[in-house]
Amino acid sequence: MGKRWQVEKKKEHYYKSAKKENYRSRASYKLIQLNKKFRVIKDGDHVVDLGAAPGGWSQVALEKVGETGTVLGVDLQKIKPFDEENFIFIQGDFTSSETQKEIYESLNGKAEVIISDAAPSLSGIKDIDRIRIMDLADNVNKIAANLLKPKGALIMKTFQGPEFPELLKKLKNEFNVVKTTKPASSRKLSSEMYIIGRGFKGVKGVNEKFDQN
């Protein structure tokens, strides 16, 4: 991307809109559009945002859950605190068992929605990047399977590739409804795709439970 992208993004519609409307990221509009279409996050929900920095999705989630809900953000990077008291932040690697246990304990094992706009660090080597993409998706799925309440929902980003159908098949075993989409605010040249799972079946033993010892 480099300097050319830095110049171009300042002219880009969603970048300018985010600045004007005080959203932390242009990515905020992805969640706004996804939630408008699928109505996943509702007032009073407990939401976990995996890969939350710089806070664009958590910001939108806080708007949707209102004062009675909770948003828990997780990221390796620190993010600027929100004014809302119902925001919890965990600095850590959500792919690690230690951080996953901390997420579970912070919400007493209960969440209505898991959201993730996270992307792995890519090397440019296809085989390695495919493994990284699937490993990240598997960890998001593991947290969802172990933390969601029955009938809960998932919104996650992944990338199109040979493993994409396999991931969809797995999620269809865990959710009553699984949809794929690419919101208007996604960049046209990006291979990113968003998966929406609704009606979590509460399947036991889908993944290893977090170690509670």
Cα–Cα distance for residue pair 175/186, rounded to 1 Å: 25
CB contact set of 201 (below 8 Å; sequence gap of 6+): 150, 173, 174, 175, 176
- Per-residue pLDDT of 129-140, as tens digits, reads 888 888 999 999
pTM score: 0.88
Domain ranges across the chain: 27-200
End-to-end CA, the chain: 45
Q: Provide the CATH topology of domain 27-200.
A: Rossmann fold (3.40.50)
Which parts of the chain have pLDDT scores under 70?
Answer: 1-11, 203-213
Residue 183 and residue 148: Cα distance in Å, rounded?
24
Give me the pLDDT at residue 206, please: 44
Q: Residue 36 burial by CB count (10 A; 0-12/13-18/19+): exposed, middle or buried? A: exposed
Give yes or no: 157 in active site: yes
Residue 11 is predicted with a pLDDT of 46
Q: What is residue 171's predicted lDDT score, i.e. its pLDDT?
A: 95
Active-site option among 30, 64, 142, 157: 157
**pLDDT over 70 for what percent of the chain?**
90
